[in-house]
Amino acid sequence: MWRAFLANLEKTFIEIRRYYFNSISGIATLLIFFYLLFFGVKAVGGPSINLSSTLDGIIVGYFMWIVFIFSFQGVAWGIIEEAQRGTLEQVFASPIAFEYQMLFRMVSEFLFNNVLLAIPLMYFAAFTTGRKIGFDLATLLYLMIGGTISALGIGMILGGIALIFKRVSSFIQIVTFGSLSFTMFETQSLWHRLLPMSQASSMMRALAINNTKFYQFQFSDHVVLWLVAIGYLSIGFIVFRAFERRAMIVGSLSQY
């Protein structure tokens, strides 16, 4: 198991290094989209918005959205790429369960994409836009892990759909941009807090704007955060297993 994790970690690093031009282009795209969103809201809001917490909330919400899409897309696109390369059956034939391999890949991409990429980008974006955002590193990682677990559940669902329908890029794009609605805006009701990443994003804004530590949040906030995380992860595994059994019955694992 440990070797499988290290192999996935090495594979992620090699792909980032080997396709560095694509990696750099992706970072540039994220920053350009952020600046268009940030300065667009600032221009529409006028001078009254400059000193408000809205701009800080946009920064935090946007980068929580990046964490979310990095997390759930890693699983879905991983399955699609394995199918394109013709190696999907080999992965399923491995003595290590496919779900665990996806989990190892998820952890590897969390370390590279979220910890080593998203966090520095968030600081860079705040610095270049003149905003001062305070972060407690322990609380930041705590909330990112809680939010990422729920995103993994969504990724497993999309990965299961990809096993059957193969080409699901359009549907992934719908989920990607639809997720902006529950990461960029403040939670107003319980059902909104139960959406994936929504509670983590709300707590992250409190961390960034009010410098709230993880032990200063209400107990109910932690309960909702982890119930949502475990709930979506469990649903994701159940749905993925259902699609996996269906794919084996119809013999579509080797098809693309």
**135 belongs to a structural domain:** yes
Residue 231 pLDDT exceeds 90: yes
Angle between helices 137-165 and 169-178 (to 10 degrees): 150
Please report, rounded to a whole number, the percentage of residues in the chain having pLDDT higher than 70: 91
CA distance 178 to 254: 31
The reported pLDDT for the residue numbered 215 is 86
Query: Across residues 26-34, what is the average pLDDT?
Result: 87
In whole angstroms, what is the distance from residue 158 CA to residue 75 CA? 8
* Domain span including residue 85: 2-250
Q: Is 227 exposed, middle or buried (0-12, 13-18, 19+ CB in 10 A)?
A: middle
Classify residue 172: in a domain, yes or no. yes
Q: How many beta carbons lie within 10 A of that of residue 150, not counting itself?
A: 30
Percent residues over pLDDT 90 in the chain? 7
Residue 49, pLDDT above cutoff 70: no
Q: If DSSP codes are grouped into helix, strand and coil, which group holds residue 255?
A: coil
Question: Model confidence at 57, in pLDDT bands (50, 70, 90)?
Answer: confident
**233 vs 44, more confident:** 233
What pLDDT score was predicted for residue 226?
94
pLDDT at site 198:
85
Residue 255 in any domain: the answer is no
User: Tens digit of pLDDT for each residue in 189-216?
Assistant: 777 788 888 888 888 888 877 878 888 8
pLDDT at 227 over 90: yes
Residue 87: other Cβ atoms inside 10 A: 11
In a domain, 193, yes or no: yes
Residue 125: what pLDDT? 83
165, part of any domain:
yes
pLDDT at position 203 is 87
Which residue has tokens 């929504």? 198
pLDDT tens digits, 133-148: 667 778 888 988 888 8
Mean pLDDT value across the chain:
81
Structural contact between residues 66 and 30, judged by C-beta atoms closer than 8 angstroms:
yes
Let me know if residue 95 belongs to a domain: yes
Phi and psi dihedrals of 185, rounded to 5? -120, 155
Between the alpha carbon of residue 89 and those of residues 10, 79, 231, 245, the distances in Å are 21, 11, 29, 13
* Longest CA pairwise span in the chain (Å): 61
Whether 207 is covered by a domain: the verdict is yes
Q: How many domains is the chain partitioned into structurally?
A: 1
- Residue range 245-249: mean pLDDT, rounded: 83
- Residue 222: per-residue pLDDT: 92
pLDDT digits (tens, 9 = 90+) for 65-81: 888 888 888 777 877 77
Among the listed residues 102, 148, 147, the one whose alpha carbon sits nearest the alpha carbon of residue 244: 102
Is residue 256 situated within a structural domain? Answer: no
> Residue 137 corresponds to which tokens in the numbers above?
């590193």
> What is the average pLDDT across 219-223?
91
- DSSP character at residue 121: H
Q: How far apart are CA 193 and CA 217, in angstroms?
A: 15
Predicted confidence (pLDDT) at residue 127 exceeds the cutoff of 70: yes
How far is the C-alpha of 207 from the C-alpha of 214, rounded, in Å? 8
pTM confidence score:
0.83
- The pair of three-digit structure tokens given for residue 101, joined into one six-digit string: 């391999």
Specify the long-range contacts of residues 198-201, CB closer than 8 Å, at least 24 apart: 198/228, 199/146, 199/147, 199/224, 199/225, 199/228, 200/64, 200/143, 200/144, 200/146, 200/147, 200/150, 200/225, 201/60, 201/61, 201/64, 201/65, 201/147
Residue 47: what pLDDT?
A: 61
**Residue, of 203 and 250, whose pLDDT is higher:** 203
CA–CA separation, 117 vs 87, rounded Å?
28
